[in-house]
Amino acid sequence: MTEPVDSEFEVREDGPPAGLWAKMKADPEYAPEHLALEAVTRLGPRMAAELEKLKGQNPGAPPDALADMIVYRYVNQSRLSGAVSGAVPLAGAVLDVGVLAWTQARMVLMLAANYGAHPAHPDRAVDLLVLQGIHKYTQTARTALAVARGRERIEALLPAQRPETRNVLVRLALKLAQMAGVRAVKKMAAKLIPGAAIVLGGVANGKATRALGGRAIGLYRRPPMPPHPPLPHAHVPRQLPPGA
């Protein structure tokens, strides 16, 4: 059975669910893969509904305009996440980057839906890992996701191991920060400077989310094919009279 989430990982409505926190803490090396799988399953259908709501609020808006609105929304949300938890200790850093990675997954899946890619399709988990720089190639991302699924099944059969809590938190923070595009070391060091951590947290989160949004738009946008250039007029050879 999955162990309950520790008190430092209080479930936030805008962040990963309790079961995912427990899964990532038990297997921090594959935290990004666990998060991507859970996000596609839980958030994919929800992001399709969110997109329809946004379209209803902005009738006639083209996909590129909607994409700008989506990125703007989630950049602001990620900035708020960094500002709120920027001054708290290590557990808060883990919570921050986990919520940030979850927020970014929402954005990517909504952008995918905006450009016609099914947000709940398993390939979106692959997209998340590649877009967020966890894996360079889609095939290695697919392999890692398969490994994460297998480890989840194996872990359920093995006795629970309880390594030292701080080491687990550090490993989990680094993995999630890598996924969210945040330099974890700088982010944690900033927490030693009162006040500065709050500013740096919000700025770093917003910058990472905006960059990810640009990459996602580049992946999912399908520009119209340019018109074919007019074919040159064929030169019909002049036929010679018979016997010439």
Task: Give the C-alpha separation, 229 to 244, whole Å.
Answer: 38
Q: Structure pTM?
A: 0.74
Residue 191: name the closest of 94, 99, 103, 100 by CA: 94
According to DSSP, residue 17 is labeled: -
Residue type, 13: E
Q: Coil, strand or helix: which one is 40? A: helix
- Per run of 10 residues, the mean pLDDT along the chain (length 244 residues) is 44 76 85 93 95 96 96 91 54 76 95 96 95 90 88 48 58 71 54 46 82 95 59 48 54
Closest CA to 5 of 15, 68, 207: 15
Question: Which is nearest to 215 in space by CA: 120, 153, 134, 140?
Answer: 134
Close Cβ partners of 1 (under 8 Å, ≥ 6 residues apart):
156
